[in-house]
Chain A
Amino acid sequence: MQDRADSHANGKRWTLDHPELGTGPLPVTPYLSTEYFEQEREKIFTRTWLCTGKKGEEIPRPGDSLVLDIAVGKTSLLLVRGKDGRVRGFHNVCKHRGNRLAWNDHGACGSGLTCRFHGWTYASDGRLIGVPEEDMFFDFDKRDYGLSPIAADVWEGFIFINLDPDPPETLHQYLGEVVDLLRGYAFDRLPLSWSYTAEQKCNWRILRDSQLEFYHGKALHQQFAGKVMINKQQPSCHVLDAKLFRRHSMMSFYGDRRNTQRTPMERLMAQFGASLKTFPGVREMDRWPLGVNPTRSKQWFFDIYYIFPNFHLVILSPFLFVAHTMLPETVNRSTWNARGYFPQPATAAESVTREYNKCLARDVWLEDGSTLENTQRGIESGVLSQYPVQDQELLIRHAHKVAEELLASDAQAG
């Protein structure tokens, strides 16, 4: 395969391909304004597909369930695998008088899920199937009191939900081009290997934007990524490709891992297992999914796929990816779940290589985490009214535009 890297990361200004986005600074209003956040809650988070970050394999058997509290939707959700194998979602609210139905993060409701309050029982498809003293209710029909559904569907194993029970687009329509670009990736073969959750006192967009560009790689992650990112031909350029979709986006990053001085531990780890920092090799590249290293560059570092509004896939190799799920709680509080998917160790030695990669990823995320609350405080100080966005931060500019359009189009409809 011809190395096309010469024609990429070569000074191109990606933003100029999208004149509708402009090149001006962006406002800080979304990080600060409670009114703006309420609009986002109403017009984005309760109407678009959201990734839960959970995978279908976490509820493998009929009746297996999990509970998710979605603060931005002001609700608790119950995801259940039905007898037909489908994953369904419901508000986790008993339809008698509103008590919380399921209490455990994970459960198995083989013969039904029973509310603790008065013993109402629901089937895994949401039907109300048992009501103690049913004959004492008036004009009562159990069919009127099934659990309130939300939309739930699965893409490449990831469970998505939509608080609109009847969304105008299916999940696959919503995901659009991303489905084809990543088809064939090893999502089904890489197990969840580590997962960290952090509550952050910052707006969800600060969290989101922190994983939406890699301009910060050269400074914040200098030790981890600085040398890899050195581009002698075009020192300011680190983007191989950028694709903007209707809602979502992707960026492919330049990195010359072959020229990096390997540390002693890195050499050992590469000898005994998979590694985050080792270049995965180019021989098989033609068989990679179209959307992984889409320019087929030998100077490929990793790709980000951003699924609007709350899900990032970071594909670091054919055998390692990361998934970030981010959800707001209030205008200045958010939850961040960062997960690593890595080959299942075959030996105790490979458990060590997995641990090494986990600790490396964790420490890099702790660097990311250091900026979040400080940025929120900085913005709340009132020093900034807007901020400049460089060319390779294009995905932030695009995501802002996508949100603005959703907020505006609904305003017209309303």
Chain B
Amino acid sequence: MSDTSLPEPFADLEPLAAVWALATETERNRQRLGSTMAQIQACYDTLLPRMEAVLTYLSTFPPEPPDALPQETRRLLYLALALAEITTAVELHQQPSVPAGFDPQRFIPDHERTRP
């Protein structure tokens, strides 16, 4: 079960991690687009107050590749990246997707194939 746990100080974020700690931008974006605004807002409201502590913790680890991180830390990183993903939904769009935006499935992230 080690890949389903977060570093001890962040154990209370476990329910969020179960949903949002996804490895790639495409997965996190898909999760965002498949969620209600209430779910996204709840994730944002829970994570944001903890984010300074999360980032301080992550500051002591190298950036990449994620595979080189301890499993718990990697999971915390994925959760933090998910907050980066949903922030625009909350702070800019006030809805899960970009309003009337171009189809994200046709906006191909080349960096996922060759880069972090």
Contacts and interface: CB of A to CB of B under 8 A. Distances in A.
B58 A348 contact: yes
A90 B42 CA distance: 54
B69 interface: yes
A224 to B, nearest CB: 6
A174 interface: no
Contacts of B84: 265, 352-353, 355-356, 358-359
Interface residues of A, number: 42
Interface in B81-116: 81, 83-85, 87-88, 91-93, 98, 100-102, 104, 106-111, 115-116
Contact of A363 (B73, B80, B93): B93
A365 B55 CA distance: 27
B55 A263 contact: no
A349 B58 contact: yes
A347 B100 CA distance: 35
Contact of A272 (B59, B63, B107): B59
B64 interface: yes
Contacts, number: 128
- Give the size range of B's interface with the partner: 35 or more
Contacts of A271: 52, 55
A351 interface: yes
A352 B116 contact: no
Majority secondary structure of chain A interface residues (helix, strand, loop or mixed): helix
Interface in A320-374: 337, 344-353, 355-356, 358-360, 362-363, 365-370, 372
A347 B63 contact: yes
Contact of B58 (A223, A266, A352, A362): A352
Given A268-B52, A369-B101, A348 B107 contact: no
A264 interface: yes
Given A195-B111, A196-B109, A359-B84, A352 B55 contact: yes
Interface string A219-234: 0000110000000000
Contacts of A345: 63-64
Nearest to B93: A223
Nearest to B32: A359
Contacts of A266: 91
Contacts of A166: none
A194 interface: yes
Interface centre among B48, B84, B101 (most CB of A within 10 A): B84
A198 B88 contact: no
B103 to A, nearest CB: 8
Given A272-B59, A352-B80, A370-B102, A359 B88 contact: yes
Contact of A265 (B48, B81, B101): B48
A192 interface: yes
Contacts of A265: 48, 51, 83-84, 87, 91
B63 A195 contact: no
Contacts of A346: 63
Contacts of B108: 196-198
B104 A366 contact: yes
A195 B110 CA distance: 5
A346 B55 CA distance: 13
B23 to A, nearest CB: 12
A348 B55 CA distance: 8
Given A348-B63, A370-B101, A196 B107 contact: yes
Interface string B28-58: 0000000000000000000010011001101
A346 B64 CA distance: 9
A351 B63 contact: yes
A352 B58 CA distance: 9
A362 B56 CA distance: 26
A156 interface: no
Interface centre among B48, B62, B111 (most CB of A within 10 A): B111
Given A265-B48, A358-B25, 15 more contacts: A196-B107, A196-B108, A197-B107, A268-B55, A337-B110, A344-B63, A345-B63, A345-B64, A347-B59, A349-B58, A350-B63, A351-B81, A352-B83, A360-B88, A367-B102
22 contacts: A194-B111, A196-B108, A197-B107, A199-B106, A265-B87, A347-B58, A349-B80, A350-B63, A351-B64, A351-B81, A352-B77, A355-B25, A355-B84, A359-B85, A360-B87, A362-B104, A363-B98, A365-B102, A365-B107, A366-B101, A369-B102, A372-B102
The 3 closest A-B pairs by CB, nearest first: A369-B102, A345-B63, A366-B101
